[in-house]
Amino acid sequence: MKYLSILLVLCIILCSCSVYTFSGHGIAGIKTISIEPFDNQTAEFGIRDKLTDELINELLSNRTLTVANQASADAILRGKIVSITDLPLTFDENEDVKESQITIIVEVVLAKPGKSEPLWQGKLVGEGAYPYETGSMEEREEGIDKAVERLVQDLINRLTSDW
């Protein structure tokens, strides 16, 4: 009888642990989302499409939320890119720039269709450091890609976790 009790307790513990997860469940009632193209209030060409496309692609691969059109979505995400800065980050002994950092700031609003009160709104910052060797556009693009990736991950985390 003693062994049966121990076995029962172990089964309960193991079963309860197997259903626990660290992934969020998202905002209550939101299963489908429409992503509007981000407004670009900067002079950075192509950043709007890069950020919007990366967010949609990540949502499609993440599968926590289903991407839908506005007419059938539970929520609509709107955003605007408000600033992009590119500043030196590290220097060598000759005070030449060795590494730079792109910082992208976006403002986002998540709302239910037809409702004026947002479910969530906030300002997000994505940063991407990149080696500054020649000052080429390719180097800078690496920093932009990293900053966009961090923004998208932060946005996905906020959209899919409720804690």
Mean pLDDT estimate for the chain? 85
Using an 8 Å Cβ cutoff, are 99 and 129 in contact?
A: yes
Retrieve residue 89's tokens: 């980050």
Answer whether residue 4 is part of any domain. no
Answer whether residue 93 is part of any domain. yes
Answer whether residue 15 is part of any domain. no
Given its phi and psi angles, is residue 46 left (phi above 0), alpha (psi -120 to 50 degrees) or beta?
left
CA distance 106 to 80: 6
Which CATH number is 103's domain given? 3.30.160.150
Answer whether residue 13 is part of any domain. no
If one counts every other C-beta atom within 10 angstroms of the C-beta of residue 6, the result is 10
Answer whether residue 17 is part of any domain. no
Q: 57-108, pLDDT tens digit by residue?
A: 999 998 889 999 999 999 999 999 999 999 999 999 999 999 999 999 999 9
Tell which residue, 76, 81, 91, has the closest CA to residue 38: 81
Map residue 153 onto helix, strand or coil. helix
Phi/psi for 120 (5° steps) reads: -160, 145
Retrieve residue 105's tokens: 């700031």
Using an 8 Å Cβ cutoff, are 51 and 152 in contact?
A: yes
Domain that residue 154 falls in: 25-160
Answer whether residue 2 is part of any domain. no
Answer whether residue 132 is part of any domain. yes
Q: 101-150, pLDDT tens digit by residue?
A: 999 999 999 999 988 899 999 999 999 999 998 888 999 999 999 999 99
Map residue 60 onto helix, strand or coil. helix
pTM of this prediction?
0.80
| Number of compact structural domains in the chain | 1
Answer whether residue 6 is part of any domain. no
Q: 12-46, pLDDT tens digit by residue?
A: 444 444 333 334 445 667 899 999 999 999 999 99
